[in-house]
Amino acid sequence: MAASSPPGAILGVDLGATTLAGGLVDGAGTVRNSHSVPTDRLSRGEGVLQNLLAVVAGLLDDARKMGGPILGVGVGAPGVIEVDTGTIGEDIQNIPEFRGLALGRILRERTGLPVVVDNDVNALTLGEWMFGQARGLRHVAMIAVGTSIGGGLILNGALVRGVSGYGGEIGHTTVDLDGPDCFCGSRGCIKVYASGADIARQARSLLRADRTSILLELVGGDPNRIDAPQVFAAAAQGDPMAVTVVARAAQALGAGVGNLINLYNPELIVLGGSVMEAGEILMEPVVRWARFYAFEAAFDRTRIVRSTLTKESGVQGAAALFLYEQGRERLT
Amino acid sequence: MAASSPPGAILGVDLGATTLAGGLVDGAGTVRNSHSVPTDRLSRGEGVLQNLLAVVAGLLDDARKMGGPILGVGVGAPGVIEVDTGTIGEDIQNIPEFRGLALGRILRERTGLPVVVDNDVNALTLGEWMFGQARGLRHVAMIAVGTSIGGGLILNGALVRGVSGYGGEIGHTTVDLDGPDCFCGSRGCIKVYASGADIARQARSLLRADRTSILLELVGGDPNRIDAPQVFAAAAQGDPMAVTVVARAAQALGAGVGNLINLYNPELIVLGGSVMEAGEILMEPVVRWARFYAFEAAFDRTRIVRSTLTKESGVQGAAALFLYEQGRERLT
């Protein structure tokens, strides 16, 4: 642990749709030890909460064995969170069992520790800011491109949550007035072009009209098996249909990045999430389009980087979330 | 002057493309007296600066006669400003004579007073926040729809300028990936649909194909005389071509408002500028589209209002800018 770090560890929990990870993190961001289980190892419903409580209990045991205090618990969860109470919002898509759950209160009662719950991408953004590539900067945006698209904003050195926690929903900003419908009720959102699910959906839809694409071979003739990595693989081989889908995703995402540059003039924009693991085949045109859509002088001041997140980053981010809130309380 | 206001006045200057206004403003935002002159009353070039210095000198004389100290000078100017030095940026469109001018330094030398220079819409936004409808709120966005479209953002109780002053360029965010070209180098910006100049431009362009519009009568048969108020007047009479232009402007502006709601979840969005003087014929569909493009739960927490700005608001905003910076300095 760095000399300047507060003594003791933070218990960080990353509540994902498929994996629930928890770990003990020191004040320098190092994950000391961690556990993860499938989110729904038990039956869905009460099972998800039971799994979460079991992971937390296991880590508290570990902490007792290791000695040293636990300062508190940070949890990153999908959807919009009411941070003051730690209650999961109504718009949670992937873990419907948790809709409206007062997770913060439950964890406070179980652990006797201070608990902070917030959106998982807000937590990741704080992780990048406290321990990662965004360290020491004042204006940072993060876009997490996975099954869906999430975002986090740090402006003037503070996380932007807004009045009820919807701040930073970059994936659901419109870049095409009359574009395709989105589940959110709007249309032309960045998400409908560039999320992993939508990249696969667009490829499936095009395949119905064009059965010659090599994508069809990659999935053994079954369009339902198409996923985003296969679309990128086919595009890398020059498959025209896959190239079209990737080009459109990059343009939409690049326009979104350009919009963030003109709105915030940030020092850094971090692109993360499983879809960005496609690498330069996506990153290169995204940056090119961002340059096109943004003011040149503003673009020139913004670094655009790929996240270097690992599977521990969610846990680290959840710990950063706790440290951030603790710091805010000290200020007020 | 309110009992809680600091004693003394602030000298506020609003540097517009056509009018240069200055006034003495007390700490409660009341404009005590003001002067305004055409920006280019003298020849352009040095003349603009001479006018500005004459307005400032006149107000300092007034202040001397009235007694009481002048705390400092605030200036709202078009374009992107380097606030630390008070230097006008390269992207200024309307007063090219001021490109790169170290206005802050010049005014400090002439007056011996502390001087703050920033973008005029940032100043208006601070004016709404300190003295107007946004008083006491933490998250506010302003969109000024005039000849062009400017914007200002206050998030977590701080103005968002970004790393080099481009923060808040809402008018130049893209809502249509493949939309019409904009002077900024991008395309599909909100500005190309909804600014006063672009509303007139679109109407002129449609008139070339359809000579039956009543707009042609309104301008005595000369399409070059079309301006935005005439397009709204024709739309109010049900002219199909004018209705089309207004509908598209409202959709683009509504999408922009929706994007701000999903990005910031603000308590208030203020729509101002000369184009908004069209009233409900524009405001009503803008709010309807914002509801369409934004998350319902976030939209429900955001009030969207028309600015109640008067011709003194620019001067008031410039004074608010000075007070805001003075407050920040006290904090650091």
Answer yes or no: do B118 and B154 share one domain: no
Residue type, B296: E
User: Quick one: tokens of B254?
Assistant: 């509504």
Residues A114 and A162 in one domain: no
The verdict on residue A1 lying in a domain is no
Tokens of A153: 């904003």
Torsion of CA A288, A289, A292, A296, to 10 degrees: -60
Do A160 and B155 count as a contact with CB atoms less than 8 A apart?
yes
Same domain flag for B181 and B58: no
Q: For residue range A212-248, list pLDDT tens digits in order.
A: 889 999 998 888 999 999 999 999 999 999 999 999 9
Inter-chain contact A158–B158, Cβ cutoff 8 Å?
Answer: yes
CA distances from B231 to B10, B66, B200, B219, B272 (A): 39, 46, 7, 10, 18
- The DSSP annotation for B87-99 comes to EE-TT--S-GGGT
Which A positions 262-281 lie with beta carbon below 8 A of chain B? 262-267
The answer on B242 and B273 residing in a single domain is yes
B252 touches chain A (CB under 8 A): yes
User: What's the pLDDT score for residue B31?
Assistant: 95
pLDDT-derived band at A67 (thresholds 50, 70, 90) equals confident
Q: Assess whether B14 and B113 both reside in one domain.
A: yes
Which band of pLDDT confidence, cut at 50, 70 and 90, is reported for residue A1? Answer: very low
- A2 occurs within a structural domain: no
Q: Which residue range is the domain that position B16 belongs to?
A: 9-129+311-331
Do A141 and A279 share a domain, yes or no? Answer: yes
Whose tokens are 């206005």? That residue is B103
Q: What is the pLDDT of residue B248?
A: 98
d(CA A9, nearest CA chain B) in Å: 29
pLDDT of residue B209: 79
In this predicted structure, what is the pLDDT of residue B7?
72
Which residues 34-63 on chain B approach chain A with CB closer than 8 angstroms? none
Judgement on whether residues B315 and B218 belong to the same structural domain of the protein: no
CB contact under 8 A, A185 and B265: no
Query: pLDDT tens per residue, chain B (332 residues)?
Result: 444 455 789 999 999 888 899 999 999 999 999 999 988 766 566 788 999 999 999 999 999 998 889 999 999 999 889 999 999 988 777 788 889 999 999 999 999 999 999 999 999 999 999 999 999 999 999 999 998 999 999 999 999 999 999 999 999 999 999 999 999 999 999 999 999 999 999 999 998 877 788 999 999 888 899 999 999 999 999 999 999 999 999 999 999 999 999 999 999 999 999 999 999 999 999 999 999 999 999 999 999 999 988 878 999 999 999 999 998 876 65
Asked if A89's CB is within 8 angstroms of B301's CB, the reply is no
Q: For residue B139, which residues of chain A lie inside 8 Å, CB to CB?
A: 160, 162-163, 167
What's the CA gap between B179 and B187, in Å, rounded? 6
Nearest to B173 among A160, A168, A259 (CB): A259
Residue A4 lies in a domain: no
CA A206 to chain centre: 28
The residues, any chain, with a CB within 8 Å of residue A42's CB and separated by 6 or more, are A48, A50, A51
Residue A83: inside a domain: yes
CA-based nearest residue to A278, from A269, A286, A268: A286
Q: Tokens 């006797």 map to which residue?
A: A112
SS3 (DSSP) at A37: strand
Q: What is the CA radius of gyration of chain A?
A: 20
Residue A67 lies in a domain: yes
- Does a structural domain hold residue B2? no
Q: Indicate the residue of A91, A170, A265 with minimum beta-carbon distance to B166.
A: A265
| Residue A182 DSSP label | -
Which of A155, A252, A296 lies closest to B160 in CB terms?
A155
Residues of A (190-249) whose Cβ lies below 8 Å from B:
none
* Helix orientation angle between B46-66 and B103-111, rounded to the nearest 10 degrees: 40
CATH number, position A177 = 3.30.420.40
Token output for B166: 């481009």
pLDDT band at A204 (very low <50, low <70, confident <90, very high): very high
Q: Does position A6 have pLDDT exceeding 60, yes or no?
A: no
Q: Is residue B4, in this structure, part of any structural domain at all?
A: no
Instruction: Specify whether A179 is located in the same domain as A293.
Output: yes
Q: Are residues B124 and B169 in the same domain?
A: no
Among the partner residues A91, A176, A179, nearest to B297 by beta-carbon distance? A91
pLDDT at position A149: 95
Place of tokens 């990659």: A218
C-beta atoms of A184 and B295 within 8 A: yes
CB–CB contact B163 A267 (8 Å): yes
pLDDT band at residue A331 using 50, 70 and 90 as cut-offs: low
Say what the ipTM of the complex is: 0.92
Measured CA to CA, the distance from residue B226 to residue B113 in angstroms comes to: 45
Number of domains chain A contains: 2
The per-residue pLDDT for range A120-168, each reduced to its tens digit, is 999 999 999 999 999 999 999 999 999 899 999 999 999 999 999 999 9
Minimal C-alpha gap between B258 and chain A (Å): 8
Q: Which of B164, B167, B178 sits opposite A297 (nearest CB)?
A: B164
Residue B169 and residue A267: Cβ atoms within 8 Å? Answer: no
Same structural domain, A53 and A88: yes
For residues A272 and A283, what is the distance between their CA atoms, to the nearest angstrom?
Answer: 10
Looking at the partner chain, which of A151, A166, A296 has a beta carbon nearest the beta carbon of B298?
A: A166
Chain B residue with CA closest to A193: the answer is B177
Looking at residue A71, its amino acid is L
Domain co-membership, B327 together with B261:
no
A282 with A234, same domain: the answer is yes
- Residues listed for chain B: 332
Contacts of A110 (CB under 8 A, 6+ apart): A53, A56, A57
